[in-house]
Amino acid sequence: MSLKDQITEDMKAAMRAKDTERLGTIRLLLAACKQREVDERIVLDDAAVVALVDKLIKQRKDSIEAFTKANRMDLADKESAELKILQTYLPQRLSPEEVLIEVRAMVAELGASGPGDMGRVMASAKTRLSGKADMSAVSAAVKMALTA
């Protein structure tokens, strides 16, 4: 079963359980998938759905930060609940140590040295670690590996 099919099944289960919070978040995710499919005239595969979920999670994290700064805890709590639901659709993430090991291997493979090679390493990291790790953590690991 594809990830998109799983999300649809979860939506049906949330409807049956009358779980409005979960249902709303899942509908939001499916709407984003449908919008991308219509805009680009493609059918999303699992990797594209994971990338979309990543994007929505990043938006939620940014919103939580903004709402917390503005002292709007009610909205921050709502975004946190959506964030938890969206995270269930991501594959198992690599630990920070595993990310660092992968990044160091890529730096060695590419023969990169110094901050000037960050773009090359990040391009390689994006293709190899997309969906497996938080890209902001990957960026920090690349910076650390290139300055060490």
Q: Where are the domains of the chain?
A: 3-87, 96-147
Which amino acid is residue 59, in one-letter code? Q
For 39-64, letters b (16+ CB in 10 Å) and e give eeeeebeeebbbebbbebbeebeebb
pLDDT, position 96: 87
CATH of 96-147, one of 1.10.10.410, 3.40.50.1860, 3.40.50.300, 2.130.10.10: 1.10.10.410
Give me the pLDDT at residue 26, please.
97
* Residue 34 CA to its chain's centroid (Å): 18
Q: How far is CA 138 from CA 2, 4, 76, 111, in A?
A: 27, 26, 26, 18
Residues recorded for the chain: 148
User: Measured between alpha carbons, how far is 20 from 142 in angstroms, rounded to an integer?
Assistant: 41
Look at residues 80, 15, 4 and name the one whose alpha carbon lies nearest to residue 43: 4
Residue 39 has pLDDT above 90, yes or no: yes
Supply the CATH classification number for the domain 3-87.
1.10.1510.10
Which residues on adjacent β-strands are paired with residue 133? 130
The pLDDT tens digits for 130-145 are 778 888 889 989 988 8
